[in-house]
Amino acid sequence: MQITSSFDGGNIECIQLESEKDIQLKVRKDSQSEFFQWFYFRLTGAYRKDCRLRILNAGQCSYPEGFEDYRAVASYDLETWFRVPASFDGEVLTIEYTPQLDAIYFAYFAPYSMNRHAHLISSCLVSTRVEYENLGHTLDGQDMDYLRVGKPVKGKKQCWVMARQHPGETMAEWWMEGFLEKLLDENDPVSRKLLEHCVFHVVPNMNPDGSRRGNLRTNASGANLNREWMEPSLEHSPEVYVVREKMRQTGVDFCLDVHGDEALPYNFISGSYGVPCWSEELEHQLDVFLESLCAANPDFQTEKGYTKDKPGAANLQIAKNYVAQHFQCLSMTLEMPFKDTTATPDPVFGWSPARCKHLASAVIDSIARVLPFL
């Protein structure tokens, strides 16, 4: 048997591999950071062996509650990711599975590779609706890909959508894939009508370096990008720096930042309630958006989520709050689960790439609904 993770997005340390009954592993920390939780590795040579894989430092991970009532994901072909049994005793995460082929991959959530990201960008550029710009480079020298969707005509609303500031939250880029597919579908009447009134500014992956390195939350320098928005720098957080500069060029009327939550088994929106500029008008816009999204997709709900910030108490280092305050606009974070949705569970796949993409489609419908109020 062998355990490997020396590939795009891989993360694991193999401690012991003497017996399939006691495969001992540890999650590696993020680059120059104390964050860790994302795992992704390949097991070979275990065909039809009853394997017991133990992640020994799960209890010391950044969000140990994320392993409670959790099932890992596995795949033979890197396309179909299904859930496998896992248990957590507060210290060790144990995955028990009998592989039916000679090679199998395990991960925290369905990975989204930089190769797939490159394919996503290339496929979008075929559309006449899209203009591409490389906003700059990451610390590892990767491109910061930006897509403008729609003709920049005066009077149109400027809608920003970005994903994967936290690289281990791969559901965010699966969501983005679905979002772009619907937005660029010339036969989709909602997208067609929406683009008559809006220009979309899309950053499908805010953190390419963290994605490739197999990090949970940080970039190559150890920066948590969603705490860098007040004072980003080219030396420490160039990803935020170049995107923020582009926002200042275009203006922002609507912003959605797409994430995943380790612990909460729900899809929900975190609004910018605590920013100094919060108003009845912004609250009405948010209410319209939430009501529409609930109606459009039963996987979304509004009863569970984060505690609202008190007036004036919002952390402006966070993207949704910085954008809301600086541009006086509706700005939100969408959170999706690593686990499954409690009210609408899927016993085979859990919360999955396909369901992420369906939720993205519903978000476009909801943007169309709130557009007259922006």
Kindly report, residue by residue over 61-100, the tens digit of the pLDDT.
999 999 999 999 999 999 999 999 999 999 999 999 999 9
Q: What is the pLDDT of residue 30?
A: 99
Q: What is the pLDDT of residue 342?
A: 98
Which residues touch 220 (CB under 8 Å, ≥6 apart)? 31, 32, 138, 139, 140, 209, 210, 213
User: How do strand 157-163 and strand 198-203 relate by DSSP bridges?
Assistant: parallel
10 Å CB burial of residue 112 (0-12, 13-18, 19+) is buried
Q: Is 335 considered catalytic here? A: yes
| Residue 67: closest CA among 47, 87, 45 | 87
118, 314, 319, 329, 341 from 160: Cα distances, Å: 20, 20, 11, 11, 26
- Distance from C-alpha of 325 to C-alpha of 145, rounded to nearest angstrom: 25
**Could you check whether 2-107 and 114-373 share the same CATH topology?**
no
13 Rama class: left (phi>0) / alpha (psi -120 to 50) / beta:
beta
CATH number of 114-373: 3.40.630.10
Torsion over CA of 243, 248, 254 and 259, rounded to 10 degrees? 20
- Output the tens digit of pLDDT for each of the chain's 374 residues: 999 999 999 999 999 999 999 999 999 999 999 999 999 999 999 999 999 999 999 999 999 999 999 999 999 999 999 999 999 999 999 999 999 999 999 999 999 999 999 999 999 999 999 999 999 999 999 999 999 999 999 999 999 999 999 999 999 999 999 999 999 999 999 999 999 999 999 999 999 999 999 999 999 999 999 999 999 999 999 999 999 999 999 999 999 999 999 999 999 999 999 999 999 999 999 999 999 999 999 999 999 999 999 999 999 999 999 999 999 999 999 999 999 999 999 999 999 999 999 999 999 999 999 999 99
- Record: fold of 2-107: Immunoglobulin-like (2.60.40)
Q: What is the mean pLDDT of the chain?
A: 99
For the beta carbon of residue 137, count every other beta carbon within 10 angstroms. Answer: 16
Q: How many residues are listed for the chain in this entry?
A: 374
One of 173, 228, 239, 335 is an active-site residue; which one? 335
Task: Look at the pTM and tell me if it is higher than 0.95.
Answer: yes
- Distance from C-alpha of 110 to C-alpha of 112, rounded to nearest angstrom: 7
Query: Distance from CA of residue 77 to its chain's centroid?
Result: 22
Q: What is the pLDDT of residue 108?
A: 99
Kindly report, residue by residue over 193-215, the tens digit of the pLDDT.
999 999 999 999 999 999 999 99
Q: What is the pLDDT of residue 304?
A: 98
Q: What is the pLDDT of residue 169?
A: 99
Q: What is the pLDDT of residue 331?
A: 99
| Residue 292: closest CA among 193, 183, 373, 346 | 373
Q: What is the pLDDT of residue 146?
A: 99
Q: Where are the domains of the chain?
A: 2-107, 114-373
| Residue 175: closest CA among 217, 112, 113 | 112
Give the position of tokens 């369905």: 110
- Given a contact cutoff of 8 angstroms between Cβ atoms, the answer to whether 73 and 38 are in contact is no
Q: Is 239 helix (H, G, I), strand (E, B) or coil?
A: helix
268 strand-pairing partners: 335
Furthest-apart CA pair in the chain: how many Å? 66
